[in-house]
Amino acid sequence: MRRKPAVAGAFYPASERELRQLIDELLSNAPRVQVEGEVKGLISPHAGYVYSGIVAACGYNLIKGRGIERVILLGPSHTSYFRGIAVYPEGEWETPLGTVPIDDRTARKILRSGGPYFEAPHLHETEHSLEVQLPFLQSVLESFSIIPLLFGFGDADDFISAAEVLSELARKKDTLLLASSDLYHGYSYEEAVKTDSYTLELIKEGDPLNFARALSAERAQACGGWPIVTLMEAMRKIGAVPKLLYYANSGDITGIKTGYVVGYGSVAFVRIREKEEELSAEEKAALMKIARSSVEAAVRGMPLKIEAPPYERLREKRGAFVTLKKHGQLRGCIGYVLPIKPLYEAVSDVAVSAALRDPRFPPVTVDELDDLEYEISVLSVPRKIENIDEIIPGHHGLIVKRGYFEGLLLPQVATEYGWDRETFLKHTCLKAGLEPDCYLHPDTEIYIFEAEVFDEADILKDA
């Protein structure tokens, strides 16, 4: 199954030579913006290249040379009216620069996740919002595959839930999520600047539900609004924060600031790594084996002897938590916040403590061992902050201290419950045994940390 280009010769040149020349010029002339960290998401405009190409090029310059091999494209439908998200499941897409394969395995995984996703390649045939991104991608990436997702109408909850499977995929180092959207459409240059400033500010705040409410109330404008909502939620789940790269509207590009105006924005979502380099699949598997064998020996009352693993990083001192679940429900969670022991010893210790010494639960019994699910969190060293704006829910864990009171919540807790920054702070205060707004008290100390979190299913996926 091959999708032929629908808007070559209209939105961009149909000639390979002319198209390459135009894209090279746009990439050369676009502002160069540097960011630290992994670029996991991108919002890019989809108008004709002569109008929005320079804004799009700013974002595409950013992803060049970053090892991206899979791009999940999220775009709005301008040509068909339907509910949900139409998946193009297999085959390839063609542009004047060649063909791009569909990652059919990933497309099928998305379809199996249910929710608003359904298979409908015919809905993609005449739509431009995803197609116009491909020549840019072909120009800046070496070799890649795509999964085209076309958005119809629906409720905010539909598109928030759609982010679950996408966030899982976005955790892969080689994967980028790209939402295609223009901004303001109307007849006032001044109104375009004002409305787009508000829309982009909402995106930068990173709250997908708040952005969705603004879209529904028509306070914010983006023709790819629902793709952006889904992208924002997926990025929130993996701790990637938005950064505005470049804004312009058609009046700025053409110099004609009367008549019809369309706004264009390029936004990157960047995941900042403050902690150590990620553990390998082999290192994770070794820690998981230590956690499980430690618990099973302790619960059975058998002698416990843990040998140092043949991995140098596992012998370095690190903080760690082990979370035990039974049939999906919490069964114990204990950890070392500070790096007081070699990592493999810390995991052994806290795994046993989670099984036998968590005061919220009775000790694990032998009959429960086969039902236990293990999750390990390897922590960075906590860092005291003065400004709560530094906190990124889903990316940072929190420690709140005041006097003898102290509470800690891991980063994945905010993700699991969908908490924003304020809610996350309030629950950490409550965990400390303090009033929920204790974080506002001048004597309260707030620390943030990161955690590399994995379970046995993650290890199998990485292997």
Whose CA is closest to 269, among 392, 409, 383? 392
Residues 231 and 362 in one domain: no
Quote the tokens at residue 456: 């046995």
Indicate the pLDDT class of residue 392, thresholds 50, 70 and 90.
confident
Residue 208 has pLDDT above 60, yes or no: yes
Whose CA is closest to 146, among 91, 97, 95, 98? 91
What is the pLDDT at residue 36? 79
In a domain, 107, yes or no: yes
> Mean of the per-residue pLDDT values for the chain?
93
Residue 275 has pLDDT above 50, yes or no: no
The whole domain housing 157 covers 2-271
Indicate the pLDDT class of residue 463, thresholds 50, 70 and 90.
low
Higher pLDDT, 337 or 460: 337
Indicate the pLDDT class of residue 349, thresholds 50, 70 and 90.
very high
Residues 226 and 329 in one domain: no
Measured between alpha carbons, how far is 318 from 321 in angstroms, rounded to an integer? 10
Structure confidence by residue, pLDDT tens digits, 102-126: 999 999 999 999 889 999 999 999 9
Residues 434 and 312 in one domain: yes
What H or E segment, with its residue span, contains residue 65?
A: none
Quote the tokens at residue 3: 């999708």
Residues 206 and 65 in one domain: yes
Whose CA is closest to 291, among 351, 378, 371? 351
Residues 120 and 246 in one domain: yes
**CA separation, residue 183 to residues 44, 64, 195, 197, 239 (Å):** 10, 25, 9, 10, 25
Q: Which phi-psi region, left, alpha or beta, contains residue 405 (left: φ > 0; alpha: ψ -120 to 50)?
A: beta
Tell me the pTM: 0.65
Residues 76 and 203 in one domain: yes
In a domain, 244, yes or no: yes
Residues 194 and 249 in one domain: yes
What is the percent of the chain where pLDDT is above 70? 98
In a domain, 276, yes or no: no
In a domain, 446, yes or no: yes
Measured between alpha carbons, how far is 221 from 216 in angstroms, rounded to an integer? 9
Whose CA is closest to 283, among 211, 344, 342, 374? 344
Number of domains composing the chain: 2
Residues 289 and 356 in one domain: yes
Measured between alpha carbons, how far is 111 from 5 in angstroms, rounded to an integer? 24
